[in-house]
Amino acid sequence: MKAVLLEKPCKAKELVVREVHKPQVKPGWVLVKIKAFGINRSEIFTRQGDSPSVKLPRIIGIECVGEIEDPSDSIFQKGQRVVSMMGGLGREFDGSYAEYALIPSAQVYPVNNDMDWVECAAIPEMYYTAYASLFDVLRVAKGETLLIRGGTSSVGIAALQLAKSIGATVISTTRTKDKVELLKQYGADFVLLDDTSLSEELFCYFPKGVNKVLELVGTVTLKHSFKLLSEQGTLCMTGILGGEWVLHNFEPMVDIPSRAYFTQFDSQLIKEKLVARLFNHVEKHKIKVPVAQVFTLDDIQKAHLLMESNSANGKIVVLVD
């Protein structure tokens, strides 16, 4: 089969599609015929050698959509439409940059829809992260105010669409004026520049602060985001776009406001019911999933270069079949 096998850290232009052996089915695992997959920032980090837990050689890729090729000893049926994402995919075991992937059956989730493969592939990691953060962790409800810190990121745009679909008021932030209209087009009620004027601007519209904050920038803005919460508000840290993993000089008794709540979302445990609800939600509310560009597997270099350019404004999808 064709696959992108990463043998050592490299530049985007050094990625190579080659012929490798198709995985052999074993108990507890299913063989998935991959139809398409999305490109993710974490795969760029792995390619560059910045994921020390990933042992090379490895077929990278942390999400995919496709059909069951061999169900092994699972309850799946051959030809059934499925998605898989995160967990150990493309990190602990070979991932989605290939024509086939052998995946633990517990990490494969059925999807009952007739979406085209490109749209389907743009949903899993990006929208699941946003959906779970908003509705399983933050529990955003109709009429509440939500601040999305890092609004122009792929998860930020997905969260904006999902929150608006249930009637929340959304304030999205961006560091550049050029992205203001983009966020308005996706439905943001307010778009604020993420600079020294952010607090003043936000409290001008919401003197008591906001009910919920989805923190995607991470540690570099976290302490400031706490100050934007209303009483009994909740902040969920989901992203680390700012690049700093560790928060220095953090005093919980000082930095977390009294009668405010702090939580986080990570993708270690995917809930099958949430996956099903997510796809149903996208269809029910007719959410238009933003796809920046579609590539073939042979064009994997171009896909990575586009991701590195930070100019995609949507999901980059690779169509395998």
Q: One fold for both 2-123+289-319 and 126-264?
A: yes
SS3 at position 191: strand
State the Cα–Cα distance between residues 36 and 212, nearest whole angstrom.
Answer: 34
- Where does 48-152 show beta strands of DSSP type E? 58-59, 63-70, 81-85, 100-104, 109-110, 145-149
Per-chain mean pLDDT for the chain: 94
Where do the H-state alpha helices sit in 206-299?
219-226, 252-255, 272-284
Q: Which fold has domain 126-264?
A: Quinone Oxidoreductase; Chain A, domain 1 (3.90.180)
- Per-residue pLDDT tens digits for 169-219: 999 999 999 999 999 999 999 999 999 999 999 999 999 999 999 999 988
Residue 61 · residue 98 · CB < 8 Å:
yes
What are the b/e assignments for 109-142, b being 16+ CB within 10 Å?
bbbeeebebbbbbbbbbbbbbbbbbbbebbebee
Residue 12 · residue 301 · CB < 8 Å:
yes
Write out the chain's pLDDT in tens, 321 residues. 999 999 999 999 999 999 999 999 999 999 999 999 999 988 999 999 988 889 999 999 999 999 999 999 999 999 999 999 988 999 999 999 999 999 999 999 999 888 999 999 999 999 999 999 999 999 999 999 999 999 998 899 999 999 999 999 999 999 999 999 999 999 999 999 999 999 999 999 999 999 999 999 988 999 999 999 999 999 999 988 877 778 888 888 888 899 999 999 987 789 999 999 999 999 999 999 999 999 999 999 999 999 999 888 789 999 997
2-123+289-319 CATH: 3.90.180.10
Q: Domain map of the chain by residue range?
A: 2-123+289-319, 126-264
Exposed, middle or buried by CB within 10 Å (0-12, 13-18, 19+), for 202?
Answer: buried
- According to DSSP, residue 177 is labeled G
- Per-residue pLDDT tens digits for 53-89: 899 999 999 999 999 999 999 999 999 999 999 889 9
- What pTM was estimated for this model as a whole? 0.90
